[in-house]
A and B are shown apart, each in its own frame.
Chain A
Amino acid sequence: MSELTDLTIAGALSGLDKGEFTSRELTQAYIAEVENGRALNAFTTETPDKALEMADAADAARRSGDAGPLNGIPLAIKDLFCTKGVLTTASSHILDGFKPPYESSVTANLWRDGAVMLGKVSLDEFAMGSSNETSFYGPVQNPWRTTDGKARVPGGSSGGSAAAVAARLAMGATGTDTGGSIRQPASFCGLAGIKPTYGRCSRWGIIAFASSLDQAGPITRNVEDAAIMLRSMAGYDPKDSTSINTPVPDYRKALTGDIRGLKIGIPQEYRMDGTPPDVLALWDRGIQWMKDAGAQIVDISLPHTKYALATYYIVAPAEASSNLARYDGVRYGLREQGGNLIEMYENTRGAGFGEEVQRRILIGTYVLSAGYYDAYYLKAQKVRTLIAQDFEQAFGRVDAILTPTAPCSAFSPGEKSDDPISMYLNDVFTVPASLAGIPGMSVPAGICGAGLPLGLQILGRPFEEETVLKVGHVIEQAAAFGARPRIWWKEAA
């Protein structure tokens, strides 16, 4: 039944509706692929029994005419979403053994609509990273390798999500994006990934990294599947005070293929020195596809772009240092003993957090500490205002913005591990939209010289995910990205 795992979510829903196969059969096919794909190290926890139980419930619902919009579709869940009774780790040692007594709102929405959980997938520890190498459970492999067979990272932080979907271990996966953690791995693994507007998906029950930036979104094999999954994930939630009470449209209806007359902005500041020619050539091709489809290309300026990363690396660690204060060895997870309470805290946190997380907690604590707050944190918040204003002004003239997703294709394991700043530079094109809270999507658009996927990014006005998806869909059609990774992980199994 390997062909079942080649179906898209849209294709599988149609097959399930016609009775060509059951969710149990579809889910069994995926469970087999998850087992065959362990060499990728994408999953932190596999839940095959739960998956079959949920599949049977979905089949029963379909028989009685109660099929939800994702009924019977097997998904992988980033291990940052709390799942009731199922180990939730954030890929950190400090959450050892943590089984939440509650379900995150986004995953609850997916189960409400009939989706099936295959398991939890890995991430950079607490979503802090761009390569999925900081996970306590070891690095995740990108299913894609270079033409000459060299290993690559899947990107991050939603690296397990992207690897699982690209290798056909899941039909789709949830991701979260704080500075590019959905879009960059989607680009590295040849997938579609959308970070919706801040406030579109509830953050309740998602382990917090930087609360003013974190947003959930789907990673899927194509734009239509992203539209289907986002519709189920999104929605108002009174348990998240930043959740916005506005109706969720049927995003699939936006995929008309018609972008005639739409104004697409091309920001000059994203043409940065040192960007590889492959990336720039793909961007130019994307611009041509927009013109061919009848859109109007408008040169725009986002003058504060170059300050976005530095702003982000003050704001995000500051919020993280505060959010991660809760891991103290008292209420859940790891505890390392100490002679007194303070020592117990310090020993627990010293042993439980990895190097990158500790680095960010320290920098965050420093920029929030007395005497430095104004110079660093307040300054960064002011620059953040200017970055958001850049977008507001641009969206007065254009309907969407087209850029590359990342400044490179997937890099080698270890290549950037010793130099935090070179790792941070990976998010140079994704971080500005995160700071402004606007929706952004990566769509697979081409293959670089080394044989690895490259994505293009579409940004839109707040709550105009439909425009983003519509433009993304047109790029997907024009690019006709049909390439797939060579299957090496089964030989390794």
Chain B
Amino acid sequence: MSVDTKTVARIAHLARLKVPEDRLDPLAGELNQLLAWVEQLGEVNTDNVPPLTSVVHARLPRRDDVVTDGDRQADVLANAPDAQNGFFAVPKVIE
């Protein structure tokens, strides 16, 4: 499997990363190098092997469905680059 500049542009957009035009080609090269390197996993027989999703062999804990925190509007907005009237402000989405 090989990645071309068109694919790099597509995944960069999926990841919401602005990648300058002149970086697409070198990035494709780097990603291909990495993908070629991880191809070695193909040698490993993983038939009937379950995927490891957590190293913790424990049931996820449950707790009562109650409010434990909140009512901190000022804290939540304190670091916002642009906060207006108690909301996060972003460029206009709906015309």
Listed in ascending order, the chain A residues whose CB lies under 8 Å from chain B are 97-102, 198-199, 212, 238, 241-242, 244-245, 304, 306-307, 310-311, 313-314, 321, 325, 328-335, 337-347, 349-351, 353, 358-359, 361-363, 365-366, 369, 372, 375-376, 378-386, 388, 420-421, 435-437, 462
Q: Contact at A365–B15, with CB atoms within 8 Å? A: yes
In the assembled complex, the Cα of A50 lies from the Cα of B69 at a distance in Å of 27
A332: chain B residues within 8 A (beta carbon)? 79-81
Which residue on chain B has the smallest CB distance to residue A347?
A: B18
Q: Give the Cβ gap from B95 to chain A, nearest Cβ, in Å.
A: 10
Rounded to whole Å, the gap between the CB of A445 and the closest CB of chain B is 27
Main secondary structure of the interface of A (DSSP, over half): helix
Scan residues 37-95 of chain B and give those whose CB is less than 8 A from a CB of chain A.
37-38, 40-44, 46, 49-56, 58, 60-61, 63, 72, 75-76, 78-82, 88, 90-93
A376 near B44: Cβ-Cβ < 8 Å: no
Partner of A369, one of B11, B30, B88: B11
State whether A421 touches B11 (Cβ < 8 A): no
Question: If the complex has contacts A344-B90, A366-B11, A386-B44, are A349 and B17 also in contact, measured as CB distance less than 8 A?
Answer: yes
Q: Which chain A residues lie closer than 8 Å to B55 at the CB level?
A: 198-199, 212, 388, 435-437, 462
B90 neighbours in A (Cβ, 8 Å) = 330, 341, 344
Query: Across the two chains, which residue of chain A brings its CB closest to B62?
Result: A241
Interface residues as binary, B11-29 with A (CB distance below 8 Å gives 1, 0 otherwise):
1111111111000000100
How far is the CB of B9 from the nearest CB of chain A, in Å?
Answer: 11
Chain B residues with Cβ below 8 Å from A380 are: 38, 41
Q: Tell me, in angstroms, the Cα distance from A365 to B44 when the chains sit together.
A: 23
Q: Which residues of A contact B31 (CB under 8 A)?
A: 359, 362-363, 366
CA gap between A346 and B16 in the complex, in Å: 5
Residue of chain B at shortest CB distance from A337:
B91
Residue of A nearest to B75 (CB): A101
Minimum C-beta distance from A239 to chain B (A): 9
Hey, which bits of chain B sit against chain A, CB under 8 A? Answer: 1, 3, 7-8, 11-20, 27, 30-31, 33-35, 37-38, 40-44, 46, 49-56, 58, 60-61, 63, 72, 75-76, 78-82, 88, 90-93
Nearest CB in chain B to that of A329: its residue: B81
- What is the bound-complex CA distance between A361 and B78, given in angstroms? 27
Residue of B11, B43, B54, B58 most packed against chain A (CB within 10 A)? B11
From B19, B30, B80, contact of A330 by CB (8 A): B80
A341-B91 in contact given A366-B3, A420-B30 (Cβ < 8 Å): yes
Cross-chain contact B1 with A310 (CB below 8 angstroms): no
Question: Given A362-B15, A382-B50, A376–B38 Cβ distance below 8 Å?
Answer: yes
Q: Which residues of B contact A307 (CB under 8 A)?
A: 40-41, 43-44
Contact check, A328 vs B91: say whether CB atoms are below 8 A apart.
no
In the complex, the chain B residue whose C-beta lies closest to that of A359 is B30
Q: What is the distance, in angstroms, from B13's C-beta to the closest C-beta of chain A?
A: 8
In angstroms, Cα B18 to Cα A177, docked, is: 29
Name the contact of B80 in the complex, choosing from A331, A341, A376 (C-beta under 8 A): A331
Shortest C-beta distance, A238 to chain B (Å), equals 7
Contact of B51 among A238, A340, A378 (CB under 8 A): A378
Docked pose: A376 CA to B90 CA in angstroms: 36
Q: Which residue of A lies closest to B53 (CB)?
A: A381
CB pair B91–A314 under 8 Å, yes or no, is no
A-B contact pairs, 29 of them (CB 8 A): A98-B79, A198-B55, A238-B63, A244-B58, A307-B40, A310-B38, A310-B41, A325-B15, A332-B79, A333-B79, A333-B81, A334-B81, A343-B91, A344-B90, A344-B91, A350-B20, A358-B17, A358-B19, A359-B30, A359-B31, A361-B15, A363-B35, A365-B11, A365-B15, A376-B38, A380-B38, A420-B34, A436-B55, A437-B56
Known: A330-B80, A340-B91, A388-B55. A310 touches B40 (CB 8 A): yes
Further contacts, 16 of them, CB under 8 A, given A101-B79, A376-B38: A100-B79, A238-B61, A307-B40, A339-B91, A341-B91, A346-B17, A349-B15, A350-B18, A359-B31, A361-B17, A362-B15, A369-B14, A382-B51, A385-B51, A385-B52, A421-B37
Question: Which residues of A sit under 8 angstroms from B78, Cβ to Cβ?
Answer: 99, 101
When A98-B79, A350-B18, A421-B34 are in contact, do A212 and B53 touch as well, CB less than 8 Å?
Answer: yes
Q: Which of A307, A339, A353, A436 has the most CB of B within 10 A?
A: A307
Measured between beta carbons, the chain B residues less than 8 angstroms from A385 are 49-52
In the docked arrangement, what's the CA distance between A157 and B87, Å? 36
Cβ-defined contact, A335 with B81, below 8 A: yes
- Chain B residues positioned under 8 Å from A101 (CB to CB): 72, 75-76, 78-79
Q: How far is the CA of A295 from the CA of B67 in the complex (A)?
A: 53
Whether B54 contacts A242 by the Cβ 8 Å rule is yes
Q: Which residues of B contact A351 (CB under 8 A)?
A: 18
A181 → chain B closest CB, angstroms: 17
Point out the residues of chain A lying under 8 angstroms from B30, CB to CB.
Answer: 359, 420
- Give Cα A381 to B49, complex, Å: 9
- Min distance, Cβ B51 to any Cβ of chain A, angstroms: 3
Residue of chain A at shortest CB distance from B78: A101
Q: Which of B3, B44, B51, B82 gathers most chain A CB within 10 Å?
A: B44
